[in-house]
Amino acid sequence: MYRLLHDRYPYAHCELDFETPLQLLVATILSAQTTDTGVNKVTPVLFARYPTAADYASADRAEMETIIKPTGFFRAKTESLIKLGAALVERFDGEVPGRLKDLVTLPGVGRKTANVVLGNAFGVPGITVDTHFARLVQRFGWTDETDPVAIEHAVGALFPRRDWTMLSHVLIFHGRRTCHARRPACGACPVARLCPAYGTGETDPAKAERLLKYELAPVVEVSRG
């Protein structure tokens, strides 16, 4: 199933725009309860205004809130970013640490955010269990775990560690584009014949095709044959 999905999304990648580990960490925190596209609209201004951890630590709260307001929950996110900056300055010389055990001690940073940063900014393999990933691995029958940490460990045991980051990207891409939460496009899915949840969504190929979002490679396998 992973091979087929990888063939569908060979270009899968982190959809948050960033250039440094700090930028990715901030963008990932902002992505809670909103879209990556929405985050990418505000981060150019945010990153220009606050290029270092020290800048976040000393930020004017009202100014930062105004910048990130479109991402939602802007007061709580501002609080997290100011505290994040202070923690990085006080404990890590202003640099984002490259270890999971250090990252998860930072304000606003859980395992999901830490794995995003590790996999995409440091090249350290990690599994990102967001809502799409969790939904798909359960539909695929890869695990019946519901706790994100348990899902991470269960799925991680099924794949070589080197594949974890790309596996996360591929499943998240598929969840956003094809295997939707409410109406998956089963009839236009490359793993339809292998999926125990086939039939949850639209099975007619033509109708399913219309449910697809974003660009997709040609569908090769849709039959359960």
Predicted confidence band of residue 96 (pLDDT cuts 50, 70, 90): very high
Q: What is the pLDDT of residue 153?
A: 97
Reference 201, options 187, 215, 213, 184; nearest CA is 184
Instruction: Give the pLDDT mean for 104-122.
Output: 96
104: in domain: yes
The structure's pTM equals: 0.89
Mean pLDDT over the full length of the chain: 94
184 or 222, higher pLDDT = 184
pLDDT, tens digit, for every residue of 15-55?
Answer: 999 999 999 999 999 999 999 999 999 999 999 999 999 99
**pLDDT at residue 159, as a whole number:** 98
Retrieve residue 39's tokens. 């985050």
Residues 6 or more apart in contact with residue 200 via CB below 8 angstroms: 139, 184, 186
Catalytic residue selected from 77, 130, 204, 213: 130
Where helices occur in 104-163 by DSSP H, the ranges are: 111-121, 131-139, 148-156
Q: Has residue 84 been placed in a domain?
A: yes
**Mean pLDDT computed over 104-118:** 95
The pLDDT, as a whole number, for residue 95 is: 98
Mean pLDDT, range 84-100, rounded to an integer: 98
Q: How far does CA 127 lie from the centroid of its chain?
A: 9
pLDDT tens profile 153-182: 999 999 999 999 999 999 999 999 999 999
- The answer, yes or no, to whether residue 198 has pLDDT greater than 50, is yes
At 223 the pLDDT is 38
Q: Are residues 26 and 101 in the same domain?
A: yes
Number of structural domains found in the chain: 2
- The overall longest dimension of the chain from CA atoms, in Å, is 61
Helix (H/G/I), strand (E/B), else coil: 113: helix
- Angle, CA of 106, 109 and 112, to the nearest 5°: 145
Average pLDDT over residues 185-192: 97
pLDDT at 222: 39
Shared-domain flag, residues 51 and 142: no
**Are both 199 and 112 inside the same structural domain?**
no
Tracing tokens 């990418």 back to the chain, one arrives at 40
Buried b / exposed e over 160-183, threshold 16 CB at 10 Å, is eeebbbbbbbbbbbbbbbbbbeee
In a domain, 216, yes or no: no
Q: Quote the distance between the C-alpha of residue 109 and its chain's center.
A: 13
What is the C-alpha to C-alpha distance for residues 181 and 35, in angstroms, rounded to an integer? 15
Whether residues 27 and 91 share a domain: the answer is: yes
**8 A C-beta contact, residue 111 and residue 148:** yes
Instruction: Output the pLDDT for position 21.
Output: 98
The pLDDT confidence band at residue 214, using thresholds 50, 70 and 90, is low
What domain range includes position 182?
2-8+128-209
pLDDT in tens, 50-60: 999 999 999 99
Is 50 exceeded by the pLDDT of residue 114? Answer: yes
Residue 13 is assigned to a structural domain of this protein: no
Q: What's the pLDDT score for residue 143?
A: 98
**Residue 130 designated active-site:** yes
pLDDT of the residue at 111: 94
CATH number of the domain residue 85 falls in: 1.10.340.30
Pick the catalytic residue from 7, 41, 60, 112: 112
Please enumerate in sequence order all residues whose Cβ is within 8 A of that of 29, keeping only pairs 6 or more positions apart, or say none: 77, 80, 81, 84, 108, 109, 113
Mean pLDDT, rounded, for 137-151: 97
List all residues 6 or more positions away from 210 whose beta carbon is below 8 Å from its beta carbon: none
Which region holds residue 141: left if phi is over 0, alpha if psi is between -120 and 50, else beta? Answer: left
Count of C-beta atoms within a 10 Å radius of residue 73:
15
Mean pLDDT across the stretch 116-121?
Answer: 97
In this structure, the answer to whether residues 33 and 111 fall within a common structural domain is yes
Domain co-membership, 114 together with 48? yes
For residue 98, tell me if it sits in a domain: yes
